[in-house]
Amino acid sequence: MIIDNHPFTVNEQGHLEIGGLDSVTLAKKYGTPLYVYDVQMIRDNCRAFVNTFQNMGVTAKVAYASKAFSSIAMVQVIKQEGMYLDVVSEGELYTALHAGYPTEKIHFHGNNKSIAELRMAIEHNIGCIVVDNFQEIKHIRSLLKTYDKQMDVLMRVTPGIESKTHHYIMTGNEDSKFGFNLQNGQAETAFLQMHNDPYIRFQGLHCHIGSQIFETDRFILATSVLFQELRTWKERHGYTPNVLNLGGGYGIRYTKDDAPISYAPFVEELVNEVQKQVEALAIPMPEIWLEPGRAIAGNAGITLYTVGAMKEIPGIRNYVAVDGGMTDNLRPALYQAKYEAVLANKAAAPTETNVSIAGKCCESGDMLIWDLPLPHVSQNDILAVFSTGAYGYSMANHYNRFAKPAVVFVENGEDKLVVQRETYQDIIRHDLSYE
């Protein structure tokens, strides 16, 4: 039996399976809360992007945006898939270096890169820096001169496009902290500062319009806005780009209300648009780069919790509390994000009650799901929340001094612990005594 619209099955005992393994057994073995990933699904998501470009004969680089979920094992899977890697901090870069990621396949982002981060990127000869502001141009130029090194650089621009997503995760609108503004000429000024620099190898433009977006026409629109700018630069400065990075942001299915983007037709649509624009401008086809994060990791991960206290307020609400919450999944509290879930140990049972899943933080907004139909719920049932593979572990925090959960990978019928559960010793590790 397949779980309604989620890519998971139910076994003969009526338990939810992930990657062919019984999720209830995994919960018992590793404890809860527990993040579990189906690694084959991560690989399939990577291949859907990479293979479509290959099948179309288009030169492309697909980078996994590691902010969605970064750990040594995750980065190693991405490396095995031959993908590129997008990092936005020293910490993500450090993780990639420790995972043995080929440094020339790493792209560095960020709206406020520190000198230390730029040094780290330059010292490790990473593949590309995506420059975000005028101060950074100055820093990169002087650092490259000091190191006497050249570096591939892209310029992040904001195309002035509002995407239909939560306001907090829009990034392509004019009023954004990210990138150079196209409308007011700042992008062209930045371009003029970089394109003849002896140390900066200026490769082209980068644009990321936001996250969890379903309308492919937004990406097409962003592409056409970039080409309007490129037309101007061609006419004024004779410039043609080597690279066009169209970012990430592809929406996945969290609930039945979401219609996720199908990667292959989406990539085809995007490539066709670039080809059309390139022909109109009479320039050679640039390399197309993409940076999916959520689309790679999101639906491959679930979170398992154990049901604890239950509180029924007759005529108002049935609260079911689990042993995690906004500390392992901040998205409902931060973006009012919606999720679906089942009882992993009763996955084949008919639903008979409507409940609200509460976390255990001392915070009324610590609710994981407000309305969830479930079978009869008992203490110690295992709740499995779907689509938590992206921005779950990576946004986990220590509020109320909760320890971060473990992460388990499942592949070829085997489970492997890839991030240990934190201990209370970890929680107080950096505390110093004042006595």
Could you list the residues that contact ligand LYS (CB under 6 A)? 67, 169, 211-212, 331, 391, 395
Catalytic status, residue 362: yes
292 binding partner (options ligand PLP, ligand LYS, none; Cβ < 5 to 8 Å by kind): ligand PLP
Question: Which residue, 19 or 110, is less far from ligand LYS as judged by CB?
Answer: 110
**Interaction mask 225-264, ligand PLP, x per CB under 6 A:** ----------------------xxxx--------------
The residues pairing with 2 across neighbouring beta strands, listed in sequence order, are 9
Minimum CB–partner distance for residue 390 and ligand PLP (Å): 6
Identify any residues that bridge with 206 across adjacent strands, giving them in sequence order.
Answer: 156, 245
Considering the candidates 128, 207, 361, 362, report the single residue annotated as catalytic: 362
From the list 326, 432, 322, the residue with the least C-alpha distance to 384 is 322
d(CA 298, CA 76): 17
Q: Contact 8/18 with Cβ under 8 angstroms?
A: yes
Q: Is 335 annotated as a binding residue?
A: yes
Q: Select 154 or 410, whichever has its Cβ closest to ligand PLP.
A: 154
Which helix H or strand E contains 142, and what residues bound it? Answer: helix 134-147
Tell me: does residue 65 bind ligand PLP (CB under 6 A).
yes
| 3, 9 contact by CB (below 8 A) | yes
Contact 119, 92 (CB under 8 A): no
Contacting range for ligand PLP; rule: CB under 6 A; set: 114-122, 287-295, 335-343, 364-372: 287-295
The distance of closest approach from Cβ of residue 169 to ligand LYS in the complex, given in angstroms and rounded to an integer, is 5
Question: In terms of CB distance, is 277 or 394 closer to ligand LYS?
Answer: 394
Q: Which residue has the tokens 């090194």?
A: 149
* Smallest distance from ligand PLP to CB 73, Å: 19
CA angle 244, 226, 186 (to 5 degrees): 105
Bridge partners, residue 108, by sequence: 87, 129
Place of tokens 């969605």: 68
CA torsion sign, 136 to 139 to 145 to 147? negative
Determine, following the binding rule CB under 6 A, whether residue 170 of this chain makes contact with ligand PLP.
no
- Site stretch for ligand PLP (CB under 6 A), options 72-80, 275-283, 293-301, 318-326: 293-301
**Type of residue numbered 362:** C
Smaller CB separation from ligand LYS, 169 or 396:
169
Residues acting as catalytic residues: 362
Binding residues for substrate: 294, 331, 335, 363, 391
